[in-house]
Structure 1
């Protein structure tokens, strides 16, 4: 059974470990894996009020961060993190969490934006789930899910 649980400030180290475990392969492929930079990036965006642990059968298997994006028209939610420990990937957990995020967007009359590392399997995942690529930077691809294109599966 899947559920979401609140995040507390004391959860930072566990969440950093999940982030590094999940991103390591993709970052190494880009020549960008750096534990110090990973810590700094998570610290900069660590906002427990917008974060949820993804729990399966009382075990934390990942987390999601969905926050209001500032200055976006139409109103937008930013999906900053969706990390599932590799051992739990490909079992529908990410899709379940993404459906939760889409439901939140529908309730708030918002679209969802996100960025994913180039050459990451996450890109195929987001495309399969109705996101369209809307931009690109040196290391990331930017995506948007619009509520006007449909509702969560």
Structure 2
């Protein structure tokens, strides 16, 4: 996340930490373990009409190993079981945009800094 925010001149460590901690709900936060090591985490929020993938962070040492794709498959499976779409946003200039589009997410709209996506299995 830091490189993406730095690229657009928006990285402020205190702001990022505060934003994350203010919204932290342990029951919605999941560790990504690869070969016994912490490879990242994701936050999946159950909303009344969708699942919101609020964060998906893979440590750089674990990127490009299909770990993110496995997480997306797990989230898609949960969404299918609940018959709900998945929504998320990504920083406009982040490499994550290509990742989400590759996994079937469709842009719904754009904000000043973010692009919003949805995946609907219907």
TM-score by length of 1: 0.78
Offset of residue 44 of structure 1:
1.8
Q: Does 1:128 align with 2:102?
A: yes
Partner Cα distance (1:92, 1:30) in 2: 27
Match of residue 77 from structure 2:
103
| Alignment RMSD (CA, Å) | 0.8
Q: Tell me which residue corresponds to 2:44.
A: 66
- Paired residues, what number? 122
> Structure 1: how far apart are the matches of 2:47 and 2:115?
17
In structure 2, runs of 5+ residues without a counterpart are none
Which of 88, 107, 120 aligns to 2:62? It is: 88
CA deviations on 1:4-56 (whole Å, 9 max, x unpaired) are xxxxxxxxxxxxxxxxxxx1111111100110011111012211101110000
Aligned partners of 1:37 and 1:135: how far apart in 2?
25
Deviations 1:45-97 (A, max 9, x none): 21110111000011110001111125xxxx20000011000111011000000
Instruction: List gaps (5 residues or longer) in structure 1.
Output: 1-22, 149-153
Equivalent residue for 2:21? Answer: 43
> Partners of 1:101 and 1:128 in 2: how far apart?
15
Counterpart CA distance in 1 for 2:47 and 2:96 is 21
Q: 1:53 aligns with which of 22, 26, 31?
A: 31
**2-side partners of 1:108 and 1:44: how far apart?**
27
Aligned partners of 2:36 and 2:76: how far apart in 1?
24
Moved over 2 A (4+): none
Q: Quote the residue 1:8 is aligned against.
A: none
